[in-house]
Structure 1
Amino acid sequence: MKKGGFPKLVMSAVPLEGKTVLVRADYNVPLNKKGEITDDYRITQSAPTIQELIRKKCKVVICSHLGRPDGKVAPEFTLAPVATRLSEVIDHPVHFVPNCIGDQVVQAVKRLHPGSVLLMENLRFHAGEEANDEAFARALARDSGAQYFVQDGFGVVHRAHASTAAITHQLPSVAGLLLEREWTAITGAMEHPRKPLVAVLGGAKISDKIKVITRLIDIADTVVIGGAMANTFLKYKGCAIGKSVHEDGLDNIIRDIYKAAEAKVGKDALDEFIVLPTDVAVGTKIDADARRTVVDAREVADNEYILDIGWHSIETAVSAVTGAGTVIWNGTLGYAELPQFAHGSARMALALASQPDTTSVIGGGDTADFVLHWDARKGASFSHVSTGGGASLDLMAGEPMPGIDALLDA
């Protein structure tokens, strides 16, 4: 393995031609009340792996989960609509079988021809999936008739489930193209960034991102903080935040963050290194009719919610990323579901999309959802938009990734 390269075997490293291949994809896509897919990004991003296996004349058997059916059959979480959409994306028939183990699967696989694609029903209709059950993994491998396993579900590799961990005890297991691309983009930005490196952090919770924040304090040149996360920092600094979403009981953690930052840049440069909003957009309610009013960050009234960063803070945040070599953005900068409070996030997206020379890595989850709906090019305006929320955070934090660790070493 070359230094800094992907540490596991990839599809090109094993003889997949003409083989039956079990692929773990992440098709946990959002559905509306009619059961229609409202965002197909995870499906489109999986397409290169599926198309490469079709080109190699493999029989392609895909497994995935959708939603949280808790080990029971729940028709609202069927993957049948995904089979239809995947077929449209890859312009190739995708067969569907209403189970992922058992005789129905065995018979469906027998009917496949080289270059055929079969999507199996939701893994999480079986309790064995989330329990990382060896017997369930054995059944998956046996009934699919697979000779190899390809892990391409980046959004689940931070979990030890039957289709990420136990399955690798049953079949020789390698990484798919999406998994390799995610690992390379995120790890590259964290370990070998083009400088200066600017981290933009938002979203609601500090507690979910403590390890990521700690690591970014260590490696970044500037850390911009917005979203509800900023409210907790502002409260720590003595600002009144009204009725705003925030986390209590984190003073010691924030104190440690500032201590680490001070040790790195010195006391005088702290506010240029950890950039908090100096003005904020507030509303007296959180709904479509809420009026956006911008006030000084120290002048939030008791009945107001902080729902976005203010105009001056937007300019400061944009200025921080202008000319950056690498920007890692995780967490929207306001309550971006409401257009009047999406200004900070939209201006950040525009700034990054307007800087093709900057390596821009967008974390999964809400940030990815926002930029994909904002971007007319469906994410192509950025260097990398992750398909994984928790997985991208864990990879950034250097946490164990069971679904990657279990693959064959390069």
Structure 2
Amino acid sequence: MTKKSIRDLQLNGKKVLMRVDFNVPMKGGVITDDNRIVQALPTIKYAIEQGGKVILFSHLGRIKEEADLAKNSLAPVAKRLEELLGQPVKFVPVTRGKELEDAIANMKNGDVIMFENTRYEDLNGKKESKNDPELGAYWASLGDVFVNDAFGTAHRAHASNQGIASHFPNDSAAGFLLEKEIKFIGGAVDNPVRPFVAILGGAKVSDKISVIENLLNKADKVMICGAMAYTFFKAQGLEVGKSKCEPDFVDYAKGLLEKANGKIILPVDVVTVTVSDEDCAADFFGAISKAETRVASVNDIKPEEQGLDCGPKTIALFAKELEGAKTVVWNGPAGVFEVEKFAVGTKAICETLANLKGATTIIGGGDSAAAAISMGYEKKFTHISTGGGASLEYLEGKALPGVTCLSDVK
């Protein structure tokens, strides 16, 4: 990569401003998944070992009103980080002012502090999210060098990434996690070992228009699954019943199929249910869980049916199409994986990719990452991205502000 890495910075005795992504799920003030904290540990530990004074900051949740402040404090995160690091992490419950400045002034080499949720600054005027220049300059004044290790927000130009980096033209760098994301996702899209196969699932074609277009130009095959496949079926003139479909994007899907020259591979059978609109509206997951399933050819979906997963012939077809692939990028589940009987297609993709010999396998964050982790396949992939929106924009071929703002290697 052409951007500086944390390895390129002199850290000994320096105040190291480090933007991390500690936007972890919480329930009643308790962290339910600490994966994002664990992922940041190598960068934090490196800065400590190099004798840096490590100043950590992150956003957590969204802050729209006063009531959001208490439930989105980073205090529990600092406590969990302290346990994982095995050394004290001083939590400073403010985002600016004398208390924070004094805490930083009293730091010794190897010390770690974390200040409060950067989005507390969004309460009056969205200063963090709108990249307020005064806030970026203030935070930059607290340190000597800047390290961005938050890939999850790299697609946003915020005061805590681009705002700070603009004050360190030669001393801002990527942490190990950000570096890894750029290497795998950027490398897969821009310089893949071929054959390169993309698997795109999830609910909406409209969410992934740019991704599909970019990958059609770069991949050898693009496999479409999940609810977005039904918009493509409709484009082929097929009955889709009550399956999720975007009528406004049918013509667009038709155009993609025409220019794809056979690169797009669609399901050939699906798992359907028949559930009333009332039952679906009242309790969608409950209703589909109880419903009888039927495996239908894509040419034989009944008007009253709703497709919720790939069928067995599609699973076999996808496995065959993936044979020999050397680079695979997957974004979006194959079905309603939250309900076990409709998780079969997603699990089959996990299984196929886990057993691909000599392939680089990457999950581009979001629901497919959550599915793979919940199904126990976390260690079977080359890389699982920590950023849903950021990885999607990277797959679109867009430049990410949280990366472009970092210093170039000269």
Q: TM-score, normalised by structure 1?
A: 0.91
The aligned counterpart of 1:276 is: 266
Once the 2 structures are TM-superposed, how far is the Cα of residue 356 of structure 1 from its aligned partner?
Answer: 4.8
Residue in 2 aligned with 1:111? 106
SS in 1 for 2:271: strand
What is aligned with 2:21? Answer: 26
Helix, strand or coil at the partner of 1:74: helix
Kindly tell me: are residues 335 and 55 of structure 1, through their superposed partners in 2, closer, same or farther at Cα, counting changes over 3 Å? same
Contact 1:352–1:382, Cα closer than 8 Å, also in 2 = yes
Aligned to 2:327: 326
- Asked whether the 8 Å contact 1:160–1:403 carries over to 2, the reply is yes
Q: Please list the CA deviations of residues 303-344 of structure 1 after superposition, one character each: whole Å capped at 9, or x if unmatched.
A: 332111111111111222232111110101111111111111
> Displacement, 1:15?
1.0
Moved more, 22-31 or 297-306: 297-306
Structure 2 CA distance, aligned partners of 1:21 and 1:49?
11
Which residue identity lines up with residue 50 of structure 2 in the other structure? K
Q: Whole-Å Cα distance in 2 between the matches of residues 14 and 404 of structure 1?
A: 16
For each residue in 1:191-219, what CA deviation from the matched residue of structure 2 results, as whole angstroms up to 9, or x when unmatched? 22111111111011212211111121112
Q: CA deviation at 1:94?
A: 1.9
Instruction: Give the match's secondary structure for 1:199.
Output: strand
Structure 2 segments unaligned to the other structure (5+ residues): none
Alignment match of 2:162 (pick from 144, 161, 165): 165
CA contact (8 A) 1:368 1:385 kept: yes
SS at match of 2:379: coil
Give the distance between the partners of 2:234 and 2:312, measured in 1 at CA. Answer: 20
SS in 1 for 2:45: helix
Which runs of 5 or more structure 1 residues have no equivalent in the other structure? 1-5, 263-269
Cα-to-partner distance string for 1:34-66 (whole Å, 9 max, x where unaligned): 232222222111111001001111111111111
Q: Establish whether residue 182 from structure 1 lines up as the match of residue 181 from structure 2.
A: yes
Matched ranges for 1:330-409 at <5 A: 330-375=331-376, 379-409=378-408
> Is the counterpart of residue 69 in structure 1 residue 66 in structure 2?
no
Corresponding residue for residue 93 of structure 1: 88
The whole-number CA distance in structure 1 between the counterparts of 2:65 and 2:54 is 25
User: 2:4 is matched with which residue?
Assistant: 9
Identity %: 40
2:306 aligned partner: 305
Contact 1:70–1:124 at 8 Å: present in 2 too? no
Match of 1:226 in 2: 225
1:206-260 Cα offsets, whole Å, 9 max, x none, are 1221111112111212211111111111122122222222222113322331232
- Shift of residue 354 of structure 1? 1.8
Provide closer, same or farther for how the CA distance between residues 136 and 71 of structure 1 changes in structure 2, counting only shifts above 3 A.
farther
Q: Does 1:151 align with 2:148?
A: yes
Match of 1:83 in 2: 78
Give aligned pairs, total. 391
Whether the 8 Å CA contact 2:232–2:254 is kept in 1: the answer is no
- How big is the alpha-carbon RMSD for the aligned residues of Structure 1 and Structure 2? 1.7
The residue type paired with residue 298 of structure 2 is A
State the alpha-carbon separation in 2 of the partners of residues 294 and 84 from structure 1: 49
Stretch of structure 1 that moved more, 195-204 or 314-323: 314-323
Worse overlay, 280-289 or 362-371 = 280-289
